[in-house]
Amino acid sequence: MIPAIQAQHITFGYRRDRPVLRDVCFEVPPGDFLAVAGPNGAGKSTLLDLLAGLRQPQSGEILLADRNLRSCSVAQIARRVAVVRQEFIPAFGFTVEETVLMARTLHYGRWGFESPADRQLVRRALELTETTAFATRGLGSLSAGERQRVFIARGLAQDTPILLLDEPTSFLDLKHQVRIYDLLKSIQQEKGTTIVAITHDLNLAAQYCDETLLLSPGGSSAAPGPHFRIGKTSEVLTPEAVERAFEIRLFSGMVGRARFLFPLGRKAQDSDRPDPPA
């Protein structure tokens, strides 16, 4: 089976001499739910930009199914990948339905209007995300959790085989975090969508995501070896790996078959130790 996403030796830096991502390789099978975790500055959002074709890697290739991203136009990428972000500019008062409909912009007819099939996709996306009830309300009048569901609905309405999400649960309380992950899981199962989500919540990732890509901020360091790990979530998010990546001390415990990680404090650095008595 052809992987939905293949990253082959990709290297990218905002300054050429300082790569954020260095020689990163991974594959995501179709229909997989991949979490991307790692401390701030490790290159998670950069990786998402690369997968969405917003930036080009300095070296290496990204393949979606068997198509090289470099040879895709903006429209061709948009047929394969939908991106859900959390940026929100409340400038002009679009309603929820209008916002979700924008996902179909590419498919509008010659006179700039959507087809009945587009409308059907929008309706389905609203239903799946349980946003139909406030479809005619303005986006700015919603709570953060409701708005996040609307943005996911827009991603769904784009009807792509791959869905990328940048921290879909930031700003959300526990109830809404769980609802978003339940929603993503049901989308994965019902539509077979390949999902890649950046997350800071390792425990949620451990519960919901099949695989995890753990990035360490080592892209620019001269340290040998890769600065990422990818694999089954339970094998990647081990206490040792997480402690190393985030430079913290962890408490880890098992509840049933699920492992939970709880941060205890900063990891002691060599420079933090008191001077030995003379």
Partner 1 sequence: MPAPLTPGTLLLRTATAAMLLACAMLACSLIGPQAISLKAALSTPADSAAPNPDREIFLRVRSPRIILAALVGAALAGAGVVFQALLRNPLADPYILGISSGAGLGVILAIVGGLGWTLWGRSPVTLCAFVGALGTVWLVWGIGRITGKYQVTGLLLAGVVVNAFLSALIMFLTSIARGQQLYATIFWLMGNMTEEDLLVLWVSGGGIAAGLVGLFFLSPKLNIISVGYHDARSVGVPVERIELAAFALAAFITAVAVSLSGLIGFVGLIIPHAVRLVFGPDHRQLLPLSSLTGALFLVVADTIARTVVAPAQLPVGVITALIGGPFFLVLLIRLGRKGYWLA
Residue window 36-55: x/- pattern of binding to partner 1, with contact defined by CB under 8 A: ----------------x-x-
Span near partner 1 by CB under 8 A; candidates 22-30, 82-90, 173-181, 262-270: 82-90
Name the residue nearer to partner 1 (CB basis): 63 or 72: 72
Name the residue nearer to partner 1 (CB basis): 171 or 262: 171
Whole-angstrom CA distances from 45 to 9, 202, 248 are: 17, 17, 22
DSSP per residue, 171-194:
T--HHHHHHHHHHHHHHHHHH--E
DSSP per residue, 233-269:
HHHHS-HHHHHHHHTEEEEEEEETTEEEEEEEEEPPP
- ∠ CA 146-149-152, rounded to 5°: 155
> According to the binding rule CB under 8 A, does residue 126 interact with partner 1?
no
Name the residue nearer to partner 1 (CB basis): 48 or 250: 48
Name the residue nearer to partner 1 (CB basis): 14 or 113: 113
DSSP class of 12 = E
Closest by alpha carbon to 39, among 212, 246, 223, 240?
246
Choice from 75, 174, 258, 264 touching partner 1 (CB under 8 A):
75
* Least distance (Å) between residue 10 CB and partner 1: 19
Name the residue nearer to partner 1 (CB basis): 85 or 244: 85
Closest by alpha carbon to 139, among 177, 179, 176, 92?
92
Distance between CA atoms of 72 and 146, rounded to whole angstroms?
33
> According to the binding rule CB under 8 A, does residue 223 interact with partner 1?
no
> According to the binding rule CB under 8 A, does residue 108 interact with partner 1?
yes
Query: Which residues sit at the interface with partner 1, rule CB under 8 A?
Result: 52, 54, 73-75, 77-79, 81-83, 85, 87, 89-95, 97-99, 101-106, 108, 111-113, 136-141, 154, 158
